[in-house]
Amino acid sequence: MNPNKMLWEKGDFTRIANTMRQSGEAFVASLGITKDLNILDLGCGDGNTAIPEARLAGTVLGVDIAANLVEAGNKRAKEAGLSNVTFQEGDASALTELKDNSFDLLVTMFGAMFAPKPQDVANEMLRVTKPGGKIVMANWIPGDPTLVAQILKISSAYTPPPPEGFVSPMLWGKEEEVVKRFTAAGAKPENITCEKETFTFIAPFTPAEFVSVFKTYYGPTMNAFEASEKNGKAAQLQEELEALFNSQNQGANGSTKIPATFLKVTVIK
């Protein structure tokens, strides 16, 4: 079985996604979406950006590798009464069911960056986008002091080393890597722009409880705890993550509000 598919079907990412709704909607609102656009939302999860896109756009297709998240997305769309958005399974590195030059706008918020074979991902994104169309990525930044980069950094210290040939998804957060990949895929360097923006996780519970959500439902953190339990370091991992979440929390009265910096990438085909 595809290990990337196994990772994202592990647990239940919708529990994390619930804390990302407001920032997802704000990101979509900044994209200038109009009713005539045909949009591909890649690595869409359960629709954090695809659902708000559908409220603004003509048609939206959400593609994700995890079957449980595709099912959750279609359920959310139905509950929202949106008939112009569909979710289906697919691999960002091989969008074999999608035709060339099909979409006016391709959006991927913390999605396609986690697919293996990043050059294939760049190639596919550019291939399915119409000439003159736009690709917009939101990618976490390696070594960034804010939440997500630090969660992944801490977790990686407790897990076995990745297999040979593994390319870190965090490299999508480095501008020089982004430019290199998209120019290799055929984009003009002057049509690629990168800027840092802020995403905020918002939850009606404490940072310690938020750590428990990651521990129970987020694949990479679940793997870190499983590995740490085998060598007797689970309590140490728990302590590190709780210290991180508490130190970055801006919420009050037992709530959580934690900002995280990301790289917004825009490519015009």
Reply yes or no on whether the pLDDT at 235 is more than 90. Answer: yes
pLDDT in tens, 41-85: 999 999 999 999 999 988 999 999 999 999 999 999 999 999 999
| Average pLDDT estimate for 89-99 | 97
Classify 237 in phi/psi space as left (phi over 0), alpha (psi -120 to 50) or beta.
Answer: alpha
| Average pLDDT estimate for 21-26 | 97
pLDDT in tens, 142-171: 999 999 999 999 999 999 888 888 899 999
Interatomic CA distance for residues 61 and 65, integer angstroms = 13
| Average pLDDT estimate for 227-251 | 96
Contacts of 54 (CB under 8 A, 6+ apart): 60, 77, 80, 82, 84, 85
Write down the pTM of the prediction.
0.96
Identify whether the C-beta of residue 112 lies closer than 8 Å to the C-beta of residue 171. Answer: no
Q: Are strands 103-109 and 85-89 parallel, antiparallel or unpaired?
A: unpaired
Domains and CATH numbers, the chain: 3-268 (3.40.50.150)
Identify whether the C-beta of residue 35 lies closer than 8 Å to the C-beta of residue 57. Answer: yes
Contacts of 41 (CB under 8 A, 6+ apart): 47, 49, 50, 53, 60, 61, 62, 63, 106, 107, 108, 111
pLDDT band at 1 (very low <50, low <70, confident <90, very high): low
Reply yes or no on whether the pLDDT at 22 is more than 90. Answer: yes
pLDDT for 12 equals 93
